[in-house]
Structure 1
């Protein structure tokens, strides 16, 4: 018959003798704020270049990123309908 009592563990020395080190995660707060400033600067630079290229490409319809591509389907080489859609898109 098995002993179902937990008392067999009473004599074990299970106490932690060394101090548990809990890392300080506050160092990441300064990293996040530094990265945030970096990305804000890069975003301003990007917006400036984006506006410049939109003006440069005005003759061709402007910056392609401004175009609404939701109604445009990619060209699949195996489907004739897709080639027709692309032809209509290019003509219009």
Structure 2
């Protein structure tokens, strides 16, 4: 994602829509109705295009036994909070 970790963490509470969650060492555990979703944050990185430097934060979602339709619904809502304007 094109975010710095601090920026991601500021946006996260709104994106979780009140779902109970815990944060520990780059692992975010979110309690959904059908189970626990794990969101893992990687090391902050930079993408360089000529002289332009953009933040990049690897984010991994592990939805385990959560049914795919429930995860997709969550992800669509989550994604709305992390979109950046443009165009």
Is the pair's TM-score, using the shorter chain for normalization, greater than 0.5?
no
Give TM class, smaller chain. under 0.3
Higher relative contact order (CA 8 A, sep 6+): 2
- Report the TM-score when normalising by structure 1: 0.24
* Higher helix residue share: 1
- Give 1 or 2 for the bigger CA radius of gyration: 1
